[in-house]
Each structure stands twice: as C-alpha cells, then as structure tokens.
A and B are shown apart, each in its own frame.
Chain A
Amino acid sequence: MAASEQKIQKKKITVSPLKKFFRRLRRYPTTFIGISIVIIFLLIAAFGPLIAPYHYSQQDLLQRLQPPSDEHIFGTDQFGRDIFSRILVGSRDVLLIAGSGTALAVFSGLLLGLFSGYIGGLFDEIVMRIMDVILSIPPLLLAMVILFALGPSRLNVVIVVGFLYIPMVARVVRSVVLELKTRQFVEAARLRGETRLYVLYKEILPNVLPHLAVEASMRFSYSIFLVASLGFLGLGVQPPSPDWGLMVGEARTWFYQAQWVLFFPAGAIATLVVGVGFMSDGLRRMLLPGGVTDDG
C-alpha cells in the first residue's frame, strides 16, 4: 500500500555538535562568561607556579603590607609575600580539593541514588533516612566536628566535602530514577526479560547523566565555598600553604591597615564561585531544557 507516513522525508540537519554548542552559547552570555572564568582558573591552576613572579612563601619583611604596585600587582601580606603569586599557586589547592570532594560526592551519591530509587522498599527507606539525618545537621558544623576528630589535612577535607554532599546528589539521582522507572521503555525492557542490572545500567543510567552533570557542577561551586570556609576557620590546608580561605582568615587582623590583603583572595573565591554557578546554570539550560531538578 502506498500509504505511509514517510513519503516526504524530513531534511536531516547536519550541524556538528560543537558548532551547535557554540551557537547556543552565543544566546546565553552568562554561560559564556561562566565557562570562560572556569577555563581561566583551570589554566591558572595548571601553569600558575610558572607565571608567578615570586615564590609563594618567599618572605620580605621590609616589604610588609605593601599596597598594589608595579612590583607586587596585588600588593604584599604581613610577611611581605607576594599576594598575586600566592593566589596563583593557591588555585591548585582549591580546585583540587573541591574537585576531588565533588567527585567523591557525585560518585557515591550516584550509586546510592540509583540503587535506592531502583530497588525501593525498605532499602530505599533506610538509605534515605540516613541521608535525612546527615542533611539535618548544619553542614559547616558537621564539617568542623569531623575535622576536629580527624585532624586538618587535604585528604580529610576532601573526605568531609564528599561526605557532606552525598545526600544532595543521592536525592537528585533518586528522584530522577523514580520518574524514569515508570517510563514505558523500562517496562518494555522488563517485558523482554532484561536483568535488573541491565535496566539500571543501560536504560536508566544514560538518562540520569544529564541531571547528574548539572548537579555535579552545582555541587562544585558549593564545594569551593565550603573548602574556603574551612580554610578560613583554620581547619583546612595549613600554613604556609597559600590557601585562599586561609589567606582571608589571616588577613582579617590587618584589614584596617591593608584592605588588599583580604580583598584579592576573597575576590578570587567569589569570582570562581560565580563562574562555576553561571556554568552550571548554562549546563542546566542546555542539558535539561524545561526540566526541573530537586536541588536537595
């Protein structure tokens, strides 16, 4: 029979995904700014020590608390160390610690959320109640308690960040899984006797990933903030390492004499957090058009 819907074929659009990506980017300037900021900070973290004009711990007591000048473009701190160099080198710690912490949270949260949502029942109930308990304690307080117990170190900060953000990720993943589980392609898979692991891995997981990417980028911006806060309280990276939070914390004492000592590291934190925030907003718009996620 001649009757078929395909007589007029739709023209297949041949635009490379990369080109499409840039075309979309142009429509959202904030996303562009966000991605640029993140890329710049990543480059700084990679090559910072090479472009830094001074060594980060090189003291020059004669040049204490100098305002920004040609020699020290961000000025110097209470030991006469070059703030610009310290910020460049410090970016490594922040990105690495916050990044690994986020990765830990995202990975564990993904696993917990996937299984909790998919298996359901008592397992789901137990896992989610534990998550609720973690969520019910103010995060900074919980982080401080754990770090007092474990002692401050880079690794411990990573563990704390990861631990604190597992519940948020798990909740987002679980809610997506719960929704996907009732979709008919999952039922079709059950009807042809796919194993539960196959359904989880092949049918559900690929559809969770876009949500996970958005959630991960958001967690990353929160992690940066948390790492900086812990540094500020002296619970994170220890001196003389150039940690941004720590620098802000130490600069408090000298604020009335030298505002730049506090301003530049604080500004670096703020810029990075805003940049990651813009980027995650853009990711959400691109990966989840019209979608709403539970922010945990």
Chain B
Amino acid sequence: MMDNGKVLDVDNLTVTYMTEKGPLDVVRSVSLQIAPGEIYGLVGESGSGKTTLARAVVRYLPSNGKITGGTVSLSGTDLSTRSQKEIRGIWGSRMTMVHQDPNAAINPSMMIGEQIAEMTRTHMGLSRKESRERALEMLNKVRMPDPESVARRYAHQLSGGMLQRVLIATAMATNPEFIIMDEPTTALDVTTEAVILDLIHELMDEYNTAILFITHNLGVIARICDRIGVLYAGEIMEEGPIHDVFKARLHPYTRGLLGCVPRVDANKKEISLSAIPGYIPRPDELPEGCIFGPRCELVEAACREARPPVVSVGPDHLSACRRHEILRDRSEKADETREETIGDELGHIVLEARNIKKYFPFSGGLGSIWQRRRSELKAVDDISVRMRSSFTMGIVGESGCGKTTLARCIAGLEEATAGEIELEGQLLDYSVNKRPRAILQKIQMVFQNPDASLNPQHPAGDSVARPLILLRNMDRKQVREKVAELFKAVSLPADYIDRLPHELSGGEKQRVAIARAFAADPALMICDEPISSLDVSVQASLMNLLAELQDKSKTSYLFISHDLAAVRHISDWIAVVYLGRLWEIGSAEDVFIPPYHPYTEALLSAIPIPDPDIRQDRIRLKGSVPSSLNIPPGCRFHTRCPRKVGEICETTEPPWQDMADGHRICCHIPLEELKELQGDGLLKTAGLRGNN
C-alpha cells in the first residue's frame, strides 16, 4: 500500500453481516480518504450504514460483521488484515472515538481526571504524575472551566455539554492521527451544540488530526466540515468539498436531503418542504439498478437497469448519478410555492391562557423529614398566550425550560398551580378528568415519542376510531368510513388500518397519532416535539402534512420544538421560553429579525444552517440552564446573558417593551440599543440563499 499522504484511506470497502437469512452487505464498495487536519462529514439517514462504516474503519464490528472486500489503511498501515491484538495497539494511541451519548461513554464510578489519565498511561506509557498533568492539560485545552476541580468530579456531577468536552479531551489526549466522532452533538441542546462545534473547529486548527464526523444533521456538517460524503443505503452517493456539494448538489439524494431542511427565512405559507418519497431500502431488498432509483424523480429506464457509475463531476467531487448534468443545469430546484389560502383577517380567539403557573413540590430525600420549608420547582412561572383559529404558535427554548409543562397544563394532563385557561371563551378546569366531553373534543395532542403514543396491542385503526365513538357519537358504519377517510388524509394506505404499531415505521406511527388527534376534530392541537425523533426526510413530510391539514380544518397548533428552523417554518407566532417564563413573543418573521431578546439572539446564532456560506453571529451561551429550584433573581437570564448591562439585570425584573404588531420583548436594554447592537442579524445573511 502506497502512502499517499492521507491519514485514512478506505478503498472499496464492503462490510457484510451474517444473519439468519444469509449474508447481507450493509456497506458496499465505499471509498474515502481523509487528509491530515481535515474534517470529513459523513451524512445519511438512519439505516444508511453510517455507524457500520465507522465501526468497520476502526475494526470494531459486532461478532457477526466482517469486512468482505476492500481495505482500510491508517497512514499506510493496512488495518483490514491486522489481527485483533495488533489492532488493540492502534486503538487509543493512533485512532480514537467520540461517542454520541456521553453518559454511556464515561465510567460513572471513575473520576474524570483519572479517566483521561488512564488513557495516556496505557497508550503513551506515561507515569502516574505525568498522566495526571496531561489530563489537566487536556481539560484546559477543551476550555473546561476550572479543570482542577472537574478532574476530581464524577460524570453525574457534570452537564451533557461538559461531558462531551471530557470525551473530546479523552479522545485527543494521546495525540491520535485519526478521530471518529459519531453524532457527538445529537444529544445536546442547540446552544450547547454550537459551543461544542466551535470547540472542535478550533482544536482542529491547532492540531493536525483527521476527523471522520458522522451525523444526520446537514447544518452541523456545513458548519464545521471540509469535505462531505453522502451515504445512502450503504453506498456513497456524492462526495466532495463542502462548498461544491452544497452549491452544486449533483445527486438527487443530496438535493432531496437539503430540500427537507426547513429554511430560517421562509415559512410554510411561502414554500412547502420537498420531502423525499419512500424509504431507504433494507439491505436485503435493494432495488435493481440505481439504489436511489425508486425514490428519485429523475429516474429513467437506464437507471433501473444498471448501477450508475461514480463519475467525477468537478475537482475532487464525485457523484453516483448518471443524470448529474441535468441537475447542474437546474442549479436550484424551484421551491414549490404554496398559494396562501387564508387572508390577513384574524380568526376568532381559540385559546387564552393567562398567567399560567405550575410548581412541583420538591422534597430533597431524607432531609425533608425535618426540613420544614418545602422547596418548589417552578417549571412554568407566569406565562400567558393567546391563539386564534387556524393559527400556529411555536414555543421554543432549551430543554428544561418549561415548554412541555406549559403544554401539558393547557391540555389538563398536568394540573396548573394558578392561572386561567379559556377555550373559545369558556373557562376550563385545570384537570382533564373534570373537563366535559365537549371541551375534550376541542383539545387534542400529538406526542413526541411515536413508539409510546400508540398502544402496542391495538390495531392502528382502533386507536383512530375511539375518539370518533367517544367524542363524536358516531355509529359503527360512520366510524368505519371516517377512519378510512382519516387514513387517507394522513396519506396512509387503507390496509394499514388493521396493522399493529410494531408493523409501522416511526413516521407512520406519528401519522396515525396525527389521525387520532384529528379524529376528534379539535379546535386546538398541541404538538409536543412531534418530529424531533424522526429522520429529516420524514420530518419534512410530516410538517407538510400538518400544514396541509391545517389549511383544511382551520385547527390551531401549539407547536413545541427545540428546532428553531422547524418552528420558523410551521409557525405564525413564536414564543421564546426560558426558565418558565416568556421573554419574547411576536410573529415568526419579527422574532427572526433584530431587535430580538439576547436569548433569542443566542438561539438563532446557534441554529445549524445547511449552507457553508452563511456566517452567523457567534453569540454563545455559557454553561447550562440553571435549575428551576434556584431561579436567579432579577432577570432570570442574567447568569448567561452575553449582553448583560450591569447590576440592574441582577436585581430588577426587566420590563416588557412593545413594538409594532404585537411583537414584545422583555429586557432592560432599550429596543433601539438592541437593534444597534444586533446589526443586520441573521436573516440578512441567510437571505443570500434565496438569491442564488
């Protein structure tokens, strides 16, 4: 094997799993090279073989997996033929890995410092003292605040973002040539994700390590990678320098993936997302010819006959599509514009929630026996919202800020501590159990986890039929007709009515859940992160479905998500929540242009936008959300605010400042000053995309 200056050279790699049904090629003929100091982004939906590829590269496949073709070499050392014993010598010293879930990757019973030190002792042969110093040095390198004390702490005492830093420090401690990062930021909040990505970027400038960065998030790739490979069903569809791939998009799958991501500068009324039809084929049911053929809109007879060859479409840029020339001419697919069906006139008020509070009593273990004073966890602390018909209110904020609790209080699943909930002028009881049927019919909910939201023992049709029988008093025949109609409305085939949930995919389950919610014909539908656990292409089709159903039914949505781009796409109004209180509320367009609240500003600058040319302002938040048990006095955000003005923030609650069109911001800084500080904001730069 020639040493071609690349750190990692994967050549024609095929990975096979031995299964009951016989051998399955999960990764087929994949080639990729990574140069020193380069970050290579590998993107693909779930089931595309990303993780298998990564495991094959480090020779850490499960016992039924085997490399059956091609080679993997690390700086000229062929890894694919080495024995497990030799590989073990390479693990840790020459290549390391950063995992997705830091809680699972860090030993909970070992101190953080010792964890890093152990790595350097085993793989670099350092002494105890040297290794301890090295650990501190590494913690410093990853900009850990107060490394001395962190080194003596255990995993449960650190936040998710800090743990991820520890993992990065561990991976870099031995100065490896090559690091695999497997979705290192997926489990984190947007704001923390932005900080970690910055860190990785800075460290890579300093060191000359090659990185294979695996993720499903194109925005993340656009922000930090130099090159990108798009993996689909075990094969690379397009590969090239980040700018070329994102601009030219010379494979329909790349185009499809990028089209699925909601844009921050347009909403559902202007464009609908171009979802990719169909699913990734399973490795035992690969189609003839081009594997993307059945889902491709450019498919022609030749595509169905033979695998398209991988062709060079530019310097260092490869595409596995025989029709890439056509794509080049159509530099950007015209977005499907939607005609606006509703005018500007306002609908009637559906929901009016005033001063909602939800405090959870919190007892601190044994201490509470003699501790008279009970502390309270203030999950929602005085939030008011008002919604009109055929209207979507987006609620955004980091995890643990009270979004879901607010929604559950409105739904009555959680009994509010104080406040008034009014639905179409009628005051509601706090508890769902005490609300009359007529009210229940008007509020429905779609939940986050599709696996838990359907009863595994009930056929999909039964789940949809119950609200019809119960809330709309239909007889058998009507129910059967209506169920069929609802399945059609959520574009599920009629034979899915009799299927059990385990026979459905995540996206299909969520469609059934949406059909169930719509069966009651509600005036208000609460969507609690309905799309966040799904793949991008499925997310896009669900968002389109929700928009379509809203057009027809005039239902209002309360849409909760931590994904700002999704919220921007689907919402008319956006409310920004932090530590149980609202900080900014206004129409979706207004919230996304300055002046905005410093917290909104930080959230916006953290959105990973799938366009490498956008330079976002770098507003980064320090630390994590404070506990709702100990809410900071004054402005609750002052502990992390990058625009804190002084003592006033720590002592006085900020006032609400009104702008035009109901846009309100709760901050001490006068609006003019905010506007000046924030300049053109994010949208201006994002607007570049539209013109290109």
A residues sitting closer than 8 Å to B (CB atoms) are 1-11, 183-185, 187-194, 202-203, 206-207
Contacts and interface: CB of A to CB of B under 8 A. Distances in A.
A35 B295 CA distance: 48
B277 A187 contact: no
A195 to B, nearest CB: 10
A189 B432 CA distance: 11
Best-buried of A8, A9, A203, A206 by chain B (most CB within 10 Å): A8
Interface in B445-469: 445, 447-449, 452-458, 463, 466-467
Given A191-B443, A192-B471, A207-B456, A5 B281 contact: no
A207 B471 contact: no
Nearest to A3: B275
B470 A192 contact: yes
A5 B538 contact: yes
A9 B540 CA distance: 19
Given A6-B278, A8-B294, A188-B463, 11 more contacts: A3-B276, A4-B541, A5-B279, A5-B538, A5-B541, A185-B455, A187-B447, A188-B513, A193-B435, A193-B437, A207-B455
B541 A3 contact: yes
Contacts of A10: 279
Closest 3 CB pairs of A and B: A206-B457, A3-B275, A184-B447
B334 to A, nearest CB: 15
Contacts of A3: 274-277, 540-541, 544
B277 A192 contact: no
Contact of B516 (A6, A7, A8, A188): A188
Contacts of A184: 447-449, 452-453
A11 B444 CA distance: 33
23 contacts: A1-B336, A2-B277, A3-B274, A4-B275, A5-B278, A6-B278, A6-B493, A7-B295, A8-B279, A183-B452, A184-B453, A188-B463, A188-B516, A191-B411, A191-B413, A191-B445, A192-B466, A192-B470, A192-B471, A193-B432, A194-B470, A203-B455, A206-B458
B586 interface: no
Nearest to B338: A1
A188 B445 contact: yes
A184 B510 CA distance: 12
B497 to A, nearest CB: 13
A7 B294 contact: yes
Contacts of A5: 275, 277-279, 491, 505, 507-508, 511, 538, 541
A189 B440 CA distance: 11
Contact of A185 (B279, B413, B463): B463
Best-buried of A7, A11, A192, A202 by chain B (most CB within 10 Å): A192
B538 A185 contact: no
A173 B272 CA distance: 48
Contacts of A207: 455-457
Contact of B466 (A4, A9, A11, A194): A194
Contacts of B513: 188
B433 interface: yes
B445 A185 contact: no
Nearest to A190: B432
B641 interface: no
Best-buried of A11, A184, A187, A190 by chain B (most CB within 10 Å): A184
A105 to B, nearest CB: 24
Contact of B413 (A187, A192, A193, A206): A187
A271 to B, nearest CB: 32
B285 interface: yes
B685 to A, nearest CB: 29
B492 interface: yes
Contacts of A7: 277-278, 294-295
A189 B491 CA distance: 24
Nearest to A185: B455
B42 interface: no
Contacts of A8: 278-279, 281, 294-295
B520 interface: yes
A3 B279 CA distance: 11
A6 B444 CA distance: 25
Nearest to A207: B457
Contacts of A188: 445, 447, 453, 463, 513, 516
A9 B471 CA distance: 33
Best-buried of A2, A183, A189, A194 by chain B (most CB within 10 Å): A183
B461 to A, nearest CB: 14
Given A3-B274, A183-B452, A9 B445 contact: no
Interface string B408-444: 0001110000000000000000001101010011011
Interface string B612-651: 0000000000000000000000000000000000000000
Nearest to B538: A5
Contacts of A189: 466
Contact of A1 (B272, B437, B448, B493): B272
A198 B457 CA distance: 14
A9 B455 contact: no
Nearest to A1: B544
A70 B588 CA distance: 93
A187 B445 contact: yes
Contacts of B492: 6
Interface in B382-409: none
A1 B447 CA distance: 25
B509 to A, nearest CB: 11
Nearest to B511: A5
A191 B444 contact: yes
Interface in B360-388: none
Nearest to B276: A3
A185 B454 contact: yes
Given A1-B272, A184-B449, A191 B278 contact: no
Interface in B570-607: none
B437 A9 contact: no
A189 B516 CA distance: 10
Contacts of A1: 272, 336, 544, 548
A193 B23 CA distance: 50
A189 B517 CA distance: 11
Given A185-B454, A185-B463, A193 B470 contact: yes
A185 to B, nearest CB: 4
Contacts of A206: 455, 457-458
Contacts of B540: 3
Contacts of A192: 440-441, 444, 466-467, 470-471, 520
B499 to A, nearest CB: 9
Contacts of B470: 192-194
A193 B471 contact: yes
Contacts of B336: 1
A185 B445 CA distance: 11
A2 B294 CA distance: 13
A192 B520 CA distance: 8
A115 to B, nearest CB: 17
A187 B431 CA distance: 12
Contacts of A191: 411-413, 432, 440, 443-445
A9 B433 contact: no
Contacts of B508: 5-6
Best-buried of A2, A185, A187, A206 by chain B (most CB within 10 Å): A185
B360 to A, nearest CB: 15
A189 B448 CA distance: 16
Contacts of A9: 493
Nearest to A187: B413
A189 B465 CA distance: 12
A10 B548 CA distance: 25
Contacts of B441: 192
A9 to B, nearest CB: 7
A275 to B, nearest CB: 28
A206 B336 CA distance: 46
A1 B551 CA distance: 14
B453 A185 contact: yes
A185 B509 CA distance: 12
